[in-house]
Amino acid sequence: MRVLITAGPTYEPIDPVRFIGNRSTGKMGYALAEAFAARGADVTMVSGPTQLHIQHPRIEVIAVQTADEMYAAAAKIAPQADVWVFAAAVADYKPRSMATNKIKKDGDTLTLELVKNIDIAATLGKQKRPEQFSVGFALETNDEEAHARAKLQRKNFDLIVLNSLRDAGAGFGHDTNKVTLLTAGGQMTIFELKPKAEVARDIVQTVLASLSAISTPHA
C-alpha cells in the first residue's frame, strides 16, 4: 500500500526574510507516517517546515515551504497512492506577491494584500478514483460535527478526523490529541485523549478496516 501524507505548516513569503506561517508542529502527520510504515505501507510525506526528523526505510520525506510547493509535490504522488492523508495546516491565504527586497519600515502602517491559497485536499479530491481513500482533518471551535461533515463532503474525504479546540490537550502544539472520526458512510467514533502516536494508530486502524471492507464486500 502506498500512502501520501501532507504534514506541518506552510510558510508563505512576504519578502526575502519574512513569512506568514502558523504554529503547526507537524507531530500528527509524522506520527501517521510512522504508524502507516509500521503496518507495512510505503509512505511519501510532503512536509512543510518542522523541527521533526524521521528515519525509516519506508518513509520518504519531501520538504516544501509554501502551499503551492506542497500542492505541486502532492499532485505528483497522488495518482499512485492508495491512501491520501491531509494532515498539513496549510495557510489559507498568501501575500499576492513576494517583495524582491526586504520591506523597509517606511510608514506607520503596512497593508499586505493576501490572496487565497489552493485547497490541496479539495483540488486532489476532484481527481480521486473510487478505489482511492482520502483522509482529512478538521479543527473546529463550534458546531464541530456539522462543520466536519460539511468539510468531508466538500473535499471528497472518505474519513475526517475532527479535533475540537474545546477539548484541553487536543490539536496544535500538544503531544496528545482527542479526536472524533467521521466516515462518509455516516459512522462516528469518539476517542479518548491520547498521545499522538496512539491517535495515529487508531486512525491507521480505521483506514485499514475501511479499505478491507471496501475490497471484500458482503455477498
Give me the active site residues, please.
22
Q: Residue 17 or 127: which CB sits closer to ligand CTP?
A: 127
Angle, in degrees to the nearest 10, between helices 196-215 and 27-38: 50
Q: Which stretch binds ligand CTP (CB under 6 A): 39-47, 114-122, 163-171, 209-217?
A: 114-122
Residues 37-76 that bind ligand CTP (CB under 6 A): 67
Cβ(209)–Cβ(159) below 8 Å = no
Quick check: 145 binds ligand CTP (CB under 6 A)?
A: no
Q: Residue 102 or 189: which CB sits closer to ligand CTP?
A: 189
Q: How far is the CB of 134 from ligand CTP (least distance, A)?
A: 9
For ligand CTP, the binding residue among 60, 68, 92, 198 (CB under 6 A) is 92
Quick check: 27 binds ligand CTP (CB under 6 A)?
A: no
Q: Residue 108 or 128: which CB sits closer to ligand CTP?
A: 128
Q: How far is the CB of 138 from ligand CTP (least distance, A)?
A: 5
Quick check: 137 binds ligand CTP (CB under 6 A)?
A: yes
